[in-house]
Amino acid sequence: AQKVTQAQTEISVVEKEDVTLDCVYETRDTTYYLFWYKQPPSGELVFLIRRNSFDEQNEISGRYSWNFQKSTSSFNFTITASQVVDSAVYFCALSEARLTGGGNKLTFGTGTQLKVEL
């Protein structure tokens, strides 16, 4: 069974601090996909990034960066110079390659609440 663990329930930082959100996953699949989503108070899940299991290059997008390490089954997310607008719940998710009868689903972690204060 697939599993995603986000051990950090809540993180509070002061604006301009860097912050890293941890994600550890379990899967038996050799091909899989990892995602990060942001959920602001409005509730909508906003897609941030997708990474496949064959690409271990780190990725940077503006203030956001992601560190994928297959050896430790981790896909961590760093926000540099955090801003108040970054306050949200962040979810890491794993895509299962196949369900019975086909299809795919996302297995989510429990999320990390990030609070950025002035």
Partner 1 sequence: ETGVTQSPTHLIKTRGQQVTLRCSSQSGHNTVSWYQQALGQGPQFIFQYYREEENGRGNFPPRFSGLQFPNYSSELNVNALELDDSALYLCASSEGDRARETQYFGPGTRLLVL
Residues contributing to the site for partner 1 (CB under 8 A):
4, 29, 31-33, 35, 37, 42-47, 50, 52, 91, 93, 95-111
What letter would DSSP give residue 53?
Answer: T
Give the nearest distance from C-beta 15 to partner 1 in angstroms.
25
**Count of other CB atoms within 10 angstroms of residue 59:** 13
Contact 3, 108 (CB under 8 A): no
CA distance 73 to 84: 30
- Can you tell me the distance from the alpha carbon of 63 to that of 89, in angstroms, rounded to the nearest whole number? 17
Query: Rounded to the nearest whole angstrom, what is the least distance from the CB of residue 81 to partner 1 in the complex?
Result: 26
Find the shortest distance in angstroms from Cβ 33 to partner 1.
5
Q: Give 16 or 105: the residue with its C-beta nearer to partner 1.
A: 105
